Structure 1
Amino acid sequence: MDVVAYVDGFNLYHGLKSKYGHAYLWIDLVELVRQIRQHDVVLKVRYFTAIVKGEPDAALRQETYLAALAAHCPELGIVRGHFKKKTARCRDCGSRWTCACDPAQTFHTYEEKLTDVALAVAMTMDAASAYGDMSVLVSTDTDFRPAVEASLQLAPTRPVMIACPPGRVGPKHDFSGRVVSFAIPEKHLQASLLPEAVPGPDGRIYQRPEKWSG
């Protein structure tokens, strides 16, 4: 079968980091899908992510990783969302914008935007246009349930598989037995790391960030 995979970048990142620290953050996403579906052909891997705000060092590591992926994985498509500033409530008084506590404070955070919508649309459109024979969703975010349901309705014979990032629990909905959910084993992660240094088409070398080395 020709496989099209959809990777929820932050769901995968937080799963990897929470269980294995930095060991597998330098992951070759195309090779990971090949490990998951070893007897199939990986037609396309769509990676949905956004560059973090307010953390320049982390943003630089992300950009290095994305450049390495783009140079090393021709089957990969990177879809970027963005982070939007939002307000958060004080944990003590629950107010927004300005805290009612003494001394008064203002709380801000960032919220990821567009990546989930983009993934859901791509998954649904691929099913509708018969692009590939199978969908593999790398995420346990239940917000993608409508996209899975739409895919099943549009392409009833197209298998949908949910590959759960480490430490993440798969969706409880069984979709009438038409969706297979499974945990990504560590051996697949071990077999899917990018080279320590990835040459780019412009002659640049993208080195695995030192913070991601262990």
Structure 2
Amino acid sequence: MGGFFTFGEMNSVVSTIPKPPLRIAVYIDGYNLYYGRLRGTNFKWLDIVKVFDVLLTQRDQHEQLEVVKYFTAPALANFATHGTASVAAQSAYHRALKAMHRERFEIIYGNHSYDKSGALLPSFIAGQPYDRTNRVRVWKLEEKKTDVNLALCMYRDACKGRYDRMILVSNDSDAEPALEAIREDFPEIMIGVVMPIHPPAPGREKHRRTSGSLAKHADWTLPYLQDGHLDHAQLPDVVPTNKKPIHKPSHW
């Protein structure tokens, strides 16, 4: 004969069913990450997905990384340090991340804009006050859409209830309105902020300050990325694909 569970026995069975892990999404301001932490280092071939796999394991809060969303703009050879080699290096990096992580890595592109005739801006002269009549023509390159794309993506994901926790990788206060809106409209979503800046160190001339406007809307912050975070999360020098393998750029 079949038996029956008593109410107490049923509660015991239910309580032993493991809870699903908390769903985590990471949103990266690629421009901010590169210029704030990676430029001028040997860590540019960074496996950013692995960085957060390790970080979440260390946090030990039953979290599962669902996706890393990377917001950037294609490099322009005319403005890049290594010209067309810089464009090729960026493309190789993005393709390597996609090849390594497929379903867990997304890249969202904005674009660069510049005034072909040159922007006319006031000249800075040390020790002299601002003079709007003393102007010089300069190249002014601007990254467009990245901030807006990132903010909209975070908010739309929050609206759709896709993730339990969100992590922003940026030290740019332009992201504050997005965090503030998510905090007000979806208080159940935990927000983390990782500041992609160098840790303070003796002999380092300048240390960028962390953005207080972002930190005040976060449940937790990581104020900088240590070299160890980056050194142990590098992509292989050769990344296999279904077609031609991707090689780490020689100047990286």
Q: What is the CA–CA distance in structure 2 between the aligned matches of 1:77 and 1:177, rounded to whole Å?
A: 25
Taking only aligned residues, the RMSD between alpha carbons, in angstroms, comes to 2.2
Shift of 1:176: 5.7
Gaps of 5+ in 2: 1-21, 125-130, 199-207
Which residue of 156, 159, 163 corresponds with 2:194? 163
Q: What is the CA–CA distance in structure 1 between the aligned matches of 2:28 and 2:110, rounded to whole Å?
A: 13
Gaps of 5+ in 1: 100-105
Which residue of 143, 146, 155 corresponds with 2:177? 146
Per-residue Cα deviation, 1:36-81 (whole angstroms, up to 9, x for no partner): 2113211011000111221322111101111111111120000011
1:29 corresponds in structure 2 to: 48
Mean Cα deviation higher: 183-192 or 144-153: 183-192
Aligned residue pairs: how many?
A: 202
1:41 corresponds in structure 2 to: 64
Partner SS state of residue 209, structure 1: coil
Determine what percentage of the aligned residue pairs are the same residue: 28
Q: Which amino acid aligns with 1:24?
A: F
Shift of 1:95: 6.8
TM-score (norm 1): 0.86
Q: What is the CA–CA distance in structure 1 between the aligned matches of 2:237 and 2:244, rounded to whole Å?
A: 14
Q: What is the CA–CA distance in structure 2 between the aligned matches of 1:37 and 1:185, rounded to whole Å?
A: 16
8 Å CA contact 2:47–2:234 kept in 1: the answer is: yes
1:15 corresponds in structure 2 to: 36
Structure having greater relative contact order (Cα 8 Å, sep ≥ 6): 1
Q: What is the CA–CA distance in structure 1 between the aligned matches of 2:85 and 2:215, rounded to whole Å?
A: 41
Which residue of 88, 107, 123 corresponds with 1:60? 88
Q: Which has the larger radius of gyration?
A: 2
Per-residue Cα deviation, 1:131-185 (whole angstroms, up to 9, x for no partner): 1110000001000000001111221011100001122432213766753221223
